[in-house]
Amino acid sequence: GSTLVLKDLHVSIEDKEILKGVNLEIKPGEFHAIMGPNGAGKSTLASAIMGHPAYEVTSGSVTLDGQDVLEMEVDERAKAGLFLAMQYPSEISGVTNADFIRSSINARREEGNEIPLMQFIKKLDKTMEYLEMDLNMAQRYVNEGFSGGEKKRNEILQLMMLEPSIAILDEIDSGLDIDALKVVAKGINSMRSEDFSCLMITHYQRLLNYITPDYVHVMMNGRIVKSGGPELAKRLEEEGYEWIKEELGIKD
């Protein structure tokens, strides 16, 4: 497993500071959830960790097992074991899902040690069945014409195929009906081990009814303002975010 550490992370977009000092440590095997109102900076956090060029880290650090993630190119971050499921997964025209996943797996392996084709196909079939996906989705172009729910399921397919050491899942629950949500949760839960940790970013508590996080953090105005266990998410579901603002004396 790997340990991801964020220290006093500040991130700006177009010279506007969005993240104002985020501290977080995710240890091997841990599941963390970040919740927070719209505009709090949750997606900014995910994008900054993955190295999206629009997000400028102005100070602070991100390390993976002590290695400086911010010094890494985007593909090096994936190779180091980081995985990001974006809030809005992009379409890749002309590249089939199967080819995309296979090259992503191989990009993480040494040259000459590529995954054997038959082994890949078997694993892909098995995983798609597990996620109750239509097998012909493997031959379609990545996310092209996929429904919102199919895109989210497809992100979990990539996750299970790539077996990263740390996954950041941004609103993996948004736009899912209850059956799709259960399948997505089943996929994420199947990854649980000492070799895998997960940061789930979500606006709603619903996902956490199916995946119990070890830690829950609340993000507001670019900072983590409160941390706790699963009970914190339940209270947010029942009472919203207002009580935290009052507790902390935040006015808006």
> Would you tell me which residues interact with ligand ADP (CB under 6 A)?
13-14, 18, 36, 38-44, 54
Tally the C-alpha atoms within 13 A of residue 204's C-alpha that lie toward its C-beta: 11
Cα–Cα dist 187/180, whole Å = 11
Binding-site ranges for Mg ion (CB under 5 A): 38, 42-43, 87
In the complex, least distance from residue 23 CB atom to ligand ADP, rounded to whole angstroms:
17
Report the C-alpha gap between 51 and 46 in whole angstroms: 9
Can you list the alpha helix ranges (DSSP code H) found in the chain?
42-50, 74-79, 97-107, 117-130, 148-162, 178-190, 230-239, 242-248
Q: Nearer Cβ to ligand ADP, position 43 or 154?
A: 43
Q: How far is the CB of 102 from Mg ion (least distance, A)?
A: 29
Binds 40: which of Mg ion, ligand ADP, none (CB < 5-8 Å by kind): ligand ADP
Quick one: 41 or 187, whose CB is closer to ligand ADP?
41
Of these partners, Mg ion, ligand ADP, none, which one is at the site of residue 41 (CB under 5 to 8 Å by kind)?
A: ligand ADP
Cα torsion 225, 198, 35, 5 to 10°: value is: 20
Give the shortest CB-38-to-Mg ion separation in angstroms: 4
How many whole angstroms from its chain centre is CA 56?
Answer: 19
Q: Which does 36 bind (CB under 5 to 8 A by kind): ligand ADP, Mg ion, none?
A: ligand ADP
Q: Name which of Mg ion, ligand ADP, none residue 14 binds, using a CB cut-off of 5 to 8 Å depending on partner kind.
A: ligand ADP
Measured from the CB atom, is 43 or 205 closer to ligand ADP? 43
Q: Is residue 9 within 8 Å of residue 21, measured between CB atoms?
A: yes
DSSP string spanning 49-82? HHT-TTEEEEEEEEEETTEEGGGS-HHHHHHTTE
Closest distance of CB 40 from ligand ADP, Å: 4
Nearer to ligand ADP, 102 or 226 (CB): 226
Closest distance of CB 139 from Mg ion, Å: 31
Give CA–CA dist 128/241, Å, rounded: 37
